[in-house]
Amino acid sequence: MQFQLPNEAGCYNPKTMNDRTLQRLQAIRGRLRTPIFKVLLAIVLFILIGVTGVGLYYYNYYSRMIDRRLSGEIFENTARIYAAPYFIYTGQKLSPDAVVGRLQRAGFEPNGAASAEEGTYELSPNRVTIRPAVGDPLRLEFQKNVLTRIVKLDIGNVDEAWLPAELVTNLFDQESRRKRRVVEFNELPPVLVNALIAAEDHRFYSHWGIDPIRLAGALVASIRNSDRVEGVSTLTQQFARNFFLTSERSIKRKMHEAFVALLLERRLTKQQILTMYANEVYLGQRGSFSIHGFAEGAAAIFGKDLTAIELPEAATLAGMLPAPNSYSPIKYPDRAKSRRNVVLNRMADVGFITREEAEKAKKAKLEVAPMRVDATDAPYLVDFIREQLLKDFSEDTLIHDNLRVYTSLDPDLQRAAVDAVEKGLRNVEQQLAQRNKGRKNAVKLPPPQAALVALDRRTARILAMVGGGDYGASQYNRITQAFRQPGSIFKPFVFAAAFAAALDGPLPQTEIVRLAASADPALTPVDPQPTSELAVDYITPITPVMDEETVFLYDRDKIYEPNNYHQEYHGAVTVRTALQKSLNIPTIKIAERIGYDRVADLARRAGMNAKIKGYPSVALGAFEVTPLEMAGAYTVFANEGKRLEPHAVLRVVSGDGSIKKTYKHEETQVLAPEVAYLMTHLMEGVIDSGTGQGVRSRGFWLPAAGKTGTSRDGWFAGYTKDYIVIAWVGYDDNRDLNLEGARSALPIWTDFMIKAYQLYPPRDPDAMYFEPPEGVDFVRIDRESNLPATSACVDTYEEAFLSAAVPSDHCPLHTPAISEIIENGVTETGKGVANAAKGIGRFFGRIFGGGNDSKDR
């Protein structure tokens, strides 16, 4: 058929046209003029306009979203947690490599690095030069791993300085506890890039954001075959989903994903997309943290820097991507190995590796690094810090405002605390297993837990915190959340209240009424009987107390029948002995003498449970507190009677360097300094010759004061001139550990202290002794009579007393020789003999129920 072109007017010549063609054209013209066609044309145009409008809307919406997310910092500007700076001084045992390690953890880069936000360092033989972005540049010089010289380059030689604070972790919202290490493209090893492209998108470098064939598959269904190497989305689409969209499985989301991928390919290079993908990708869980980014994945799973991973490890990481938790080499090593081998085959198929290399890599053993809670984690303390920050900052501010949070955490002491708890728990488990060995029908118990908190003695800054044996298994922080009875570690507060009463004058002479215990334990106690025991004016370390079965009467008609541990009683004992042996009955009698309310009031002022009531049981710590509350209470003894609030956050700094908030904590004077020292002196005896002797037998010999505690749990509380440390062991369900604090918590406390002083040896050992304040007098005491010694007493010891309560009686069992009377004169020696004679009656009276007459004082 021959067609003619239209004339200049745009019309065909009817004379030259076929009649049939003319008829067809006339029919078409007729249809175009019909109302139906006009309606259909309007609908089509409306749809085209609508689609164009929707496309323009989403183009504008996603363009702005992409621009917003890609402007400035690409990843969330979450608050960063920094540890305390590291104190250094000349003569310190310290190696150049150790200094460089700390600088690297603080974000410093080698001299000449392109990016060094925090500062740079230069390492040369026996010398490290530090140039921080803010602050004085330093030069450190070493000889045989000893820091011999510190030079501030702008000033000159100095004796001490501080190394920059190390970065501990980043904060995220509670629902997404993420860990991420951001890397640049040049830090991505080629073997990992090849494994990623082979496994997920082998046409990555040639497509323009979407693969039409794979997109068609995505519109039909999501991934259904877990053995399939290639996903249905390109790497760009996956990045678009992970970074900009949700993980919802729907056709609508797939369409948005493809749209965003097209826009990303127009804005970013392939290298930029790969880099952002590598930092954002999800790689499953390790403990309670979700792992994001290949760098964090390499560290968490293989314990390696990303640049050090090899072919089998790269294939394993790439193979995890379709189902990170299902292909986790930590939880499912067989699945992970099988998946790794599939990726290796795919790498060989696309020519990234040879078949021989693939087969060799398949034979490699899948080695996963053990999970450790070390100084770079400190998860329990980080949780506590986050809770404190939320009192002053919103969660959105913490996530997006690039805050720097400077804390008191000491990374080395944190590591020592973790090691001590782990070792201590193994020791407890062995003891429990040995105890249950051979028992028929022994109840299978849950694993015990342990916790430790260490404070700086002078400031109450939290240096280390371990809230349990395994943070990955349980994020329950026993230091801050577990309310337990402190047991005998509370007893020092009973005696402190008794000593403090002496500063108010003589105790009022009141009649104490008790119930006499029945000879038959099955019978109830007999009628009340008055007693004059402890009818003394002052309670001192040598005040004698009867340790015997006793029934206490309180609130007129209520009774309390406590026992000593193991049902052992010692007769007449001094206050010092009662504390050193942790005797229950004498402790309650002391509280009874001064008034239970006085004890409860001191406990509340020391920061313990505000609901504590003045009952006899308060003397034995029969109320609930957290270990952190007890640590705060012990600051009273360790700091001359002042209570300091335990805290970890020091200051918060904004991204531009301005200070957002500085945390200050007021001191509260709870006890007189001389009373606090008296308790320190007594608790030194607990460690040297009491229930805490295990501290010495385990090798810790520096001056220290402490107290064991046994309730349903095991406790040890103690302090030196540097640290206040509380250790706790028990069951989460509050069942009875049935293991003394001396055998459960004390070993943990001691192990930590030994490690702490190996890390930070005292610069002046003589300064480690506790110095008495004014208002304390020392008196020689005869060990047999437990009264001030005469010159004839041979076996004596030195005891501390408040100046207001120094005893005037002397030992009645040993009198001076005649020669001494002649040598020193009749008058002075005669006074001593007279006082000794007076003491004979009081000595036996104090033991067997007699009281001191206040007129004789």
pLDDT tens digits for range 1-50: 444 445 544 455 555 556 667 777 777 777 667 777 677 777 877 778 77
Report which DSSP code applies to 298: I
Q: What is the pTM of this model?
A: 0.75
Residue carrying the six token digits 């329990």: 380
**β 723-730/714-719 pair status:** antiparallel
pLDDT value for 732: 94
Average pLDDT over residues 340-356: 92
Report long-range pairs for 351-360 (Cβ below 8 Å, ≥24 apart). 352/194, 352/195, 352/197, 352/198, 353/194, 353/311, 357/311
- C-alpha 556: how far from its chain's center? 47
Average pLDDT, the chain: 83
Average pLDDT over residues 271-300: 81
Range of 100-104, 274-278, 730-734, 838-842 with top mean pLDDT: 730-734
Average pLDDT over residues 707-720: 96
Average pLDDT over residues 426-431: 94
Beta bridge partners of 554: 558
Average pLDDT over residues 263-277: 83
Query: Hey, is 337 helix, strand or coil?
Result: helix
Res. 535: pLDDT tops 80: no
The Cα 612–Cα 618 span in angstroms is: 8
Q: Name the band, by pLDDT with cuts 50, 70 and 90, for residue 831.
A: very low
Residue carrying the six token digits 């299978």: 444
Sign of CA dihedral 270, 273, 278, 279: positive
pLDDT tens digits for range 742-753: 999 999 999 999
Domain boundaries along the sequence of the chain = 85-164, 182-362, 488-623, 776-856
Reference 139, options 147, 150, 125, 126; nearest CA is 150
pLDDT tens digits for range 802-822: 999 999 889 998 877 554 544
Res. 232: pLDDT tops 70: no
Give Cα separations from 104 to 98, 122, 250, 450, 558 (angstroms): 10, 12, 45, 32, 65
pLDDT value for 263: 79
Q: Name the band, by pLDDT with cuts 50, 70 and 90, for residue 238.
A: confident
Reference 712, options 737, 691, 733, 688; nearest CA is 737
Which value, to the nearest 10 degrees, does the dihedral of the CA atoms of residues 684, 688, 694, 696 take? 100
More reliable by pLDDT, 218 or 238: 238
Q: Name the band, by pLDDT with cuts 50, 70 and 90, for residue 372.
A: low
Which value, to the nearest 10 degrees, does the dihedral of the CA atoms of residues 700, 771, 416, 579 take? 60
Provide the strand spans (E) within 76-203.
80-82, 86-89, 109-110, 119-124, 127-132, 138-142, 147-152, 156-158, 160-163, 167-170, 178-180
Query: Hey, is 150 helix, strand or coil?
Result: strand
Enter the tokens of residue 269: 């290079």
More reliable by pLDDT, 434 or 605: 605
pLDDT value for 227: 41
Beta bridge partners of 657: none
The Cα 436–Cα 670 span in angstroms is: 45
Q: Which residues, 6+ apart, have CB-to-CB distance to 821 below 8 Å? A: 829, 830, 833
Residue carrying the six token digits 């070390």: 374
The Cα 153–Cα 139 span in angstroms is: 7
Res. 793: pLDDT tops 90: yes
Residue carrying the six token digits 């943290």: 289
Average pLDDT over residues 173-185: 64
Res. 591: pLDDT tops 80: yes
φ/ψ (deg, to 5) at 470: -155, 100
Query: Hey, is 541 helix, strand or coil?
Result: coil
Res. 708: pLDDT tops 70: yes
Res. 833: pLDDT tops 50: no
pLDDT value for 67: 59
Reference 487, options 586, 583, 622; nearest CA is 622
Q: Which residues, 6+ apart, have CB-to-CB distance to 780 below 8 Å? A: 788, 789, 793, 796, 797, 798, 799
More reliable by pLDDT, 133 or 631: 631
pLDDT tens digits for range 461-492: 999 999 998 887 888 999 999 999 999 999 99
pLDDT tens digits for range 200-212: 888 888 887 777 7
Res. 412: pLDDT tops 50: yes
pLDDT value for 111: 79
Reference 507, options 515, 498, 516; nearest CA is 498
Give Cα separations from 490 to 426, 574, 612, 630, 835 (angstroms): 27, 18, 12, 8, 37
pLDDT value for 88: 92
Range of 330-339, 372-381, 441-450 with top mean pLDDT: 330-339
Inter-residue contact 320 to 284 (CB < 8 Å): yes
Q: Which amino acid is at 776?
A: V
pLDDT value for 299: 82
More reliable by pLDDT, 67 or 43: 43
pLDDT value for 369: 78
pLDDT value for 253: 67
Q: H-type helices in 157-302, by residue range?
A: 190-200, 212-220, 235-244, 251-267, 270-280, 294-297
pLDDT value for 106: 84
pLDDT value for 72: 52
Residue carrying the six token digits 């220290």: 704
Res. 829: pLDDT tops 50: no
pLDDT value for 250: 66
The Cα 70–Cα 64 span in angstroms is: 10
The Cα 299–Cα 305 span in angstroms is: 6
More reliable by pLDDT, 297 or 12: 297
Res. 532: pLDDT tops 70: no
Average pLDDT over residues 673-694: 97
pLDDT value for 66: 64
Average pLDDT over residues 442-470: 92
Q: Which CATH class is domain 182-362?
A: mainly alpha
Sign of CA dihedral 442, 443, 449, 450: negative
Average pLDDT over residues 163-182: 70
* CATH, domain range 85-164: 3.30.2060.10
The Cα 329–Cα 325 span in angstroms is: 9
Which value, to the nearest 10 degrees, does the dihedral of the CA atoms of residues 66, 71, 73, 77 take? -70
Inter-residue contact 84 to 107 (CB < 8 Å): no
- C-alpha 222: how far from its chain's center? 41
Q: In which element (H, E) is residue 381 found?
A: helix 379-389
Q: Name the band, by pLDDT with cuts 50, 70 and 90, for residue 713.
A: very high
The Cα 184–Cα 295 span in angstroms is: 10
Beta bridge partners of 649: 407
Sign of CA dihedral 132, 295, 394, 240: positive
Report which DSSP code applies to 300: I
Res. 217: pLDDT tops 90: no
The Cα 697–Cα 680 span in angstroms is: 20
pLDDT value for 396: 75
φ/ψ (deg, to 5) at 125: -55, 120
Reference 840, options 811, 817, 806, 816; nearest CA is 811
In terms of C-beta density within 10 A (0-12 exposed, 13-18 middle, 19 or more buried), how is residue 728 classed? buried
Rounded percentage of the chain residues whose pLDDT exceeds 90: 49
pLDDT tens digits for range 545-587: 999 999 998 887 889 999 888 888 999 999 999 999 999 999 9
pLDDT tens digits for range 307-331: 888 999 999 999 998 888 889 888 8
pLDDT value for 252: 67
SS3 for 619-678 is: HHCCCCECHHHHHHHHHHHHCCCEECCCECEEEEECCCCCEEEECCCCCEECCCHHHHHH
Beta bridge partners of 705: 719
Inter-residue contact 575 to 534 (CB < 8 Å): no
Q: Name the band, by pLDDT with cuts 50, 70 and 90, for residue 154.
A: confident
More reliable by pLDDT, 174 or 387: 387
Q: In which element (H, E) is residue 25 found?
A: helix 19-32
- C-alpha 554: how far from its chain's center? 42
pLDDT value for 476: 92
Average pLDDT over residues 378-398: 89
Edge-to-edge strand list for the sheet holding 147-152 = 109-110, 119-124, 127-132, 138-142, 147-152, 156-158
pLDDT tens digits for range 351-362: 999 999 999 999
pLDDT value for 214: 65
